Amino acid sequence: MIKAYPNLVIDVSKIRNNTKIVRDLCMAKGIELAGVIKGFNGIPEVAEAMAKSGCKQLASSRMEQLKEIKLRGHGIDTLLLRIPMLSELDQVVKYADISLQSEKTVLEALNDKAQEQGVRHRVILMRDLGDLREGVMTREALIELALFVEKQLKHIILEGIGCNLSCYGSILPTVENMSQLVSDARAIEEIIQRPLRYVSGGATTTLPLLHRDLLPEGINHLRVGEGIICAMDLPLHFKTDIEGLQTEVFTIEAEIIELAKKPSYPIGEKCVNAFGEVVDYEDKGERLRALLALGNRDVGSYTALVPLDEGVELVGASSDHLILDVENSVKDLKVGDILSFGMFYQGVLYATDKCYMNIEMVG
Ligand SMILES: *Cc1c(COP(=O)(O)O)cnc(C)c1O
């Protein structure tokens, strides 16, 4: 059979391997692992491989993905990562077993929905420890919200507290902020007179602390996606090499549609590129260049690609075209040849995309 390109190759055995390695790292410290599926748009076979490799929950920011997991009847608990919209609470109660929460308004409405559907929904309340995305800013406010849930909302179960870092504010998890979260939990337990099930200490970027055995005792839950699906990010950005994690879980193959010697510096009057950006071009003289049928549309940005063929270098891209310098290619290339690329998180996210946008036609 002739393959169609671009072709996304997913090595499910590497998903199983990486999930088990992260799971074992967590398990050694009594930490439960939620496998985060949003980075690959919840592709069911991949999510299933994660589930079977020791995740306690499958987690996503998108309700559609959790719904799909539930409808497939995997039996694994689902965890909603994004504070839900008021307009999706019906779905949340139906298809998410647990959700992260920070808004009293949402919690009240969620309680009503849970009552309507005759179930009790579990929540983890988020504390903002400085990254400035979701969560309440102070311990006092967190305690107040926890008490409200515990005492007033009969159809909501206060499952624990959590935090998220490194997403907006680029703030690292540290011994200090993780300890703060644990002592928040202890303070709440003191007041409600029962232990919390979860103290959820973040995502992939908490793994370096865990790996160095610096994660404060009391953190007993992590939510990990990137570390499993894009293992090369940890050594690159966090100087953390977790033994046995495999890279190139997701690779993309694309076809050469033009191969020619061309100047490397554009000719004529310069303005902006296809995305309205002013670009600096390096003049390296004439180079052998390959044009591929793959573009930023497919992978977000070509800078999220890592050429796997020796001597192949990224030059640039527009929506549907990728330009490579193949002057030093070890392989003798020709039109129609296929080149492979590893991908950073952004590449995986875009390459696995289904369109979630609602489209409304007017006029
Ligand atoms: C995306 C997300 C995660 C997982 O992040 P990774 O970097 O993929 O591990 C965890 N928690 C929340 C709240 C998220 O939004």
Would you say the CB of residue 226 lies under 6 angstroms from ligand 1? yes
Q: What is the mean pLDDT of residues 54-58?
A: 97
Q: Which of 62, 126, 167 to mutate to test the pocket of ligand 1 (most atoms within 8 A of CB)?
A: 167
Residue 363, pLDDT > 90, answer no
Q: How far is the CA of 234 from the centre of ligand 1 (A)?
A: 14
State the residue for tokens 């507290």: 161
Residue located via tokens 């902006």: 272
pLDDT at 279: 86
Residue 229 and residue 60 in contact, taking contact as beta carbons nearer than 8 Å: no
Tell me if 347 CB under 6 Å of ligand 1.
no
CA-nearest residue, atom 12 of ligand 1 = 81
- Say how many Å lie between the CA of residue 301 and the centre of ligand 1: 21
Buried b (16+ CB within 10 A) or exposed e, 342-358: bbbbbbbbbbbeeeeee
Give residue 138 CA to ligand 1 midpoint distance, Å. Answer: 22
pLDDT of residue 152: 98
Q: Is 39 in the pocket of ligand 1 (CB under 6 A)?
A: yes
11 vs 15: CA distance, rounded Å: 7
Average pLDDT on 76-101 reads: 98
The single-letter code of the amino acid at 86 is: L
The answer, yes or no, to whether residue 127 has pLDDT greater than 80, is yes
- To the nearest 5 percent, what fractions of the chain are helix, strand and coil? 35, 25, 45
The whole-angstrom separation of Cα 154 and Cα 161 is 18
Q: How confident is the prediction for the chain on average, in pLDDT?
A: 95
Q: Where are the domains positioned within the chain? A: 12-238, 250-362
Q: Is the pLDDT of residue 192 over 80?
A: yes
Q: Is the CB of 81 under 6 A from ligand 1?
A: yes
Closest ligand 1 atom to the C-alpha of 81? Answer: 13
Mean pLDDT in residue range 90-117? 98
pLDDT digits (tens, 9 = 90+) for 138-179: 999 999 999 999 999 999 999 999 999 999 999 999 999 999
Token pair 């030059």 in the structure block, residue: 315
For residue range 15-45, what is the model confidence (pLDDT) as tens digits?
999 999 999 999 999 999 999 999 999 999 9
CATH of domain 250-362: 2.40.30
DSSP 204: G
With a 6 Å cutoff on the Cβ, whether 224 touches ligand 1 is yes
pLDDT for the residue 14: 97
Q: What CATH number has the domain spanning 12-238?
A: 3.20.20.10
Q: Please tell me the predicted confidence (pLDDT) of residue 356.
A: 66
The reply to whether ligand 1 has any atom less than 6 angstroms from the CB of 223 is: yes
Catalytic residue among 20, 38, 70, 261, which? 38
CB of residue 216 inside a 6 A radius of ligand 1: no
The mean pLDDT value for 59-88 works out to 96
Residue 161 CA to residue 102 CA, distance in Å, equals 10
Confidence of residue 237 (pLDDT cuts 50, 70, 90): confident
Q: Is 217 exposed, middle or buried (0-12, 13-18, 19+ CB in 10 A)?
A: exposed
Task: Write out pLDDT tens, residues 273-326.
Answer: 888 888 888 999 999 999 999 999 999 999 999 999 999 999 999 999 999 999
Specify whether 38 is catalytic: yes
